[in-house]
Amino acid sequence: MKYRRISHEMLYNNLQFKCQQLGESINSICRDMQNILQEIGFEKSNDNNWYYTNNDITLSFLWIFYRELLGEQIIYKRYADIPTTVCLLSNGKWKNYEIVFDYQHRTIMLFDENKLKIKSLQLGNPNKSSLEFNVHIQLYNDFEINDTPIKWACLILNHTWHFRTTISLERDYLSDYLSITWEDEYQQVHKDPLNPYLMTLREGIQYFKNKFQERECFIHGADELIQFICNPSVASYINNEDVLLHDLYKYLPHYPIIQIYWEIKGYLMMPYKRTVTERTSIPKRNQSNNTQVKQNQNSTIITSFQNVNNTFTPLAKFEQSQHTITSTLFQILKALPTPLYQSQCVIHKHELLICGGYKQRSCYSYHTIKNEYKFICNYPSHVALEGHCVVKLVENNKGKNKITLLSFGSDCDGRNKHTLAMKYVSVWSNGNDNEINKFKKSNNSSKCNKWISFTDNHNNPIIIDSYQGVRAVIGGINNHLLFITYRKNNINVFNLNTFQFIKRDTLPINGRIQYHCFVLKSENGMIKTNEENNNNKCEMILFSENTGLSIKYDEDNNTFQFHKISICDDIASLFSYACVCINGFILFFGGRHFKNGKFIASKSVYSYSIQENTWVTFENVLPIPLYNCFGILNADNTHIHIVGGNNNEYKSVSTNMKTKMISINEIKLVIQHWVRILKIRLGWINDFNKIIIKYIKGFQLLMILQGHDKSLSGVRFSTDCRKIVSASHDNTVRIWNVLSGKQLQIFKGHTDFVYTAKFSPNGRVVVSCSRDRTIRLWDVSTGTELMKLERNFDEIWDIDFSLDGRYIVSGLRDNTIRLWDLYSEIEMNQLGHSKGVLNTQFSPNGEMIVSSSNDKTICLWNVKSGEILKRFEGHSDRVMRTRFSPDSKFIVSCSLDNTIRIWNIETETEWKILKGHTDQVYDVQYFPDGQTIVSCSRDNTIQLWNIESEKRIQMLQGHSDSVKCIDVSRNGNIIISGSDDCKIRIWGLL
């Protein structure tokens, strides 16, 4: 028989040759082969050869054994559905074969059961980098071969192999190659194949960046990768990025059938390609003569402008602040093992240690990378957790893998106090397992990962004074002082070295503190001043409902100093919120307040700047209303976790969510990359605004335009936002360049006050109306008067273009609304109120007209029929302006009754009422997002409002007299305002 005798020498030489090719150990392979031969039935004789001892041996028996042997490879254990039968096209004929894929040695083995023959297809040679050949394989199934022509796949081999088929699952099962795996921000693992013989490290990273960019563009619409930091796993001796990937990884076991993990350290993608319609007008970067960008050692951007007077650039603020803000999305992570509220959490490396909750004693470790939980321990059964506090002690001389936690608290009556400590060692496996295991085997291991009594150096139990809702921080020159604040208004200092209270004091507040905000001023990246570095002083911030305190402790003199801090109205009514301090800002999440006889949970997010003593309301909010939740920053300061809490139904939740932090440095990076937009603001698009307006929500004065010598009555942007048209009581209409502030045209022709002027949709024509009872149309480019509509009617107070620019609608003092066809100069329709019509506007879809009047009503009209559709009543004085929301579902109005109201068109009801102006409100506008409005008033202010929360988010001050008119650019980055002080002000985002 052919296979009864095997020469040991030939076997060894053959294996040695193979091992040299594959970089395997010959000794281990020989041992494995000897074991295999003995299992089959071979025995080694005195002549050192192998002989088959059974009476018969067949090739099919060896095939079955070989197939079972290869079935032990990892790929077969991972994928159970790898085909075992194929049809191979050979010499023009299809032949059936059983097939086994030897992934480890890059070989396909085919067995012809009829002829008892085995074919071996070697799929590559590590010594030849250009070897290629094709193998056509017809997939086999229960149907006739001729009926399945579409199922063929081409196996293209180049030292690694791609078995391709029309069936996606089989393609995944049969493809194995050098691949790069990476994990996105949602813990989803992705795999991208790279050809190691044709691609260098540099090309691989670029390919990866392109794939990453395509994916982000598809999901989020962001199409420009500004920053990408990737750490490929490569050999330490490789310094050349132009080396082939094959040369980097060829020495790894099982190459090329391997997966390499490349870690994304950071990225920032922003929309840009769809910025403007006229791309040719965009000056290329570094080609602008008027914009210079320099970067100093502190990565601060310094920008100077020429030909721009009285400007305050947005970047000026960047040099003064390192504001860190949250991203627009809260990512929901794996649910907590049990619902929790009033929990306490501590960060330890990549672990979020969740230390119980209200009447919940279980403690868990959440791995921030693996998105998994592990149980640590329970609090002792006698401990009742009702608003406890947990802090991590600072132990500079201790091992890195062990930390000490301190937990203390009491019940609502101040009884059943507990003070416990835990020596925690990670419950997760990692690269320091040996060190951790050594510690666990030591005598101290019995005290690990469980709560025990907190004792002094003589093993005497210590009880720390506390109350329900207590809050504490660690500070002092040696991080040895525990500052404890608890109701009613107590602040104590406990020395962790001497185990003694060294100071007890009372906070200068009227109410009581409980579940409040209490943080170190220098926490999480806040830069200390020279005074703080040189003196033994510890500064803290405390917020509790309507009270804010800056607390300074002098360690040398053991004294406190207290200073009151202003607190915004929006958060003054809230309590039981989560708070996080980072880079000099305190972020507040959720909370609850008492309204209409019940507690209501909040979704809001607020920020307080410690350095500037200012508050900001974020437009992005929590996914659900929450209170009694806990906020904490992860170890690398990239995400904030919000853990547990109660919802509006008073039920505890098992939610663990996080939101990404975006730093001002990242925003500066984008602005530096797109510095051209500072010269042409049309490059700033809606999606990019979301980084600013949805998070920072801040506008600053950019420019003041002066030219009119009497009150401004109207200001409006052109459609492309390059120009501004203004109307004034000086009887003129003027055109201004937004970027330079230069006056481009002045239209003179009206003989009395001009009330309103607006651009046509194509921007070539301006229409104006006046107290002189005329409507005039002007050519923007030449400044000439194109048309004058003059009839026997009263003063015309407002006017608007239709979407196609053919029609105009006007509101008159004689109570009428008149619709004009500009092509024929014919008045088409006449509508009316019971008193003078102050405002008219076409809806965004062109089907309706909204009007407001001195009769205190708002009316909605059908453009075609002229019939009244809806009537809205609620204002107690004249309704000055009404505007459609971008989706035409709502109307916003402002009135001399000092209020702003939002109306639901479908239900014909008042939906929101915004109060904050202290005098008459003259104008109001929607932002493009439909979630923000801006208003102006006789109180000399401009105010921005979040519609959902009904809260004011910013007030702009600067005009010295009543602000009569405002407008917002189509992309939401600029506000313009006109005032009785005869000035136009341009406001831009921070």
Q: Residues 312-322: pLDDT tens digits?
A: 223 223 233 33
Return the number of other C-beta atoms located less than 10 Å from residue 52's C-beta: 17
pLDDT band at 93 (very low <50, low <70, confident <90, very high): low
Question: Tokens 């029929």 sit at which residue?
Answer: 865
Structure tokens at 933: 């409005």
Q: What is the pLDDT of residue 244?
A: 81
User: What is the β-pairing status of strands 807-812 and 537-544?
Assistant: unpaired
Dump pLDDT digits (tens) for 914-972.
Answer: 999 999 999 999 998 888 999 999 999 999 998 888 888 888 998 999 999 999 998 78
- Which of 377, 477, 368, 369 shows the shortest CA–CA distance to 425? 377
User: Which ranges of 221-259 would DSSP assign to H, the alpha helix?
Assistant: 245-249
Mean pLDDT, residues 591-619: 82
Q: What is the pLDDT of residue 76?
A: 58
Question: Tokens 């990692």 sit at which residue?
Answer: 430
Dump pLDDT digits (tens) for 770-790.
Answer: 999 999 999 998 999 999 988
Compute the Cα dihedral for 31, 37, 40, 44 and give only its sign: negative
User: Crossing angle of helices 59-70/26-40, nearest 10°?
Assistant: 130
Dump pLDDT digits (tens) for 729-781.
Answer: 999 999 999 888 889 999 999 999 999 999 999 889 999 999 999 999 999 98
Query: Which comes out higher in pLDDT, residue 88 or 977?
Result: 977
CB 754 within 8 A of CB 768: yes
Rounded CA gap, 522 and 265, in Å? Answer: 26
Domains of the chain: 8-53+62-75 (no CATH), 85-124+133-155 (no CATH), 572-677 (2.120.10.80), 878-989 (2.130.10.10)
Query: Which comes out higher in pLDDT, residue 653 or 447?
Result: 653
Mean pLDDT, residues 477-494: 92
Q: What is the helix (H) or strand (E) element at residue 316, kind and residue range?
A: helix 315-318
pLDDT band at 77 (very low <50, low <70, confident <90, very high): low
Say what percent of the chain tops pLDDT 90. Answer: 36
Query: Which comes out higher in pLDDT, residue 311 or 908?
Result: 908
CB 553 within 8 A of CB 473: no
pLDDT band at 291 (very low <50, low <70, confident <90, very high): very low
Dump pLDDT digits (tens) for 848-882.
Answer: 999 999 999 999 999 888 889 999 999 999 999 99
Q: In what order do the strands lie in the sheet with 517-520?
A: 517-520, 537-544, 547-554, 559-564
Dump pLDDT digits (tens) for 132-168.
Answer: 333 333 333 333 333 333 333 333 333 333 333 334 4
Rounded CA gap, 875 and 878, in Å? Answer: 7
Q: What is the pLDDT of residue 913?
A: 94
Mean pLDDT of the chain: 76
> Helix or strand or coil: residue 65?
helix
Rounded CA gap, 766 and 782, in Å? Answer: 12
Residue 116 one-letter amino acid:
L
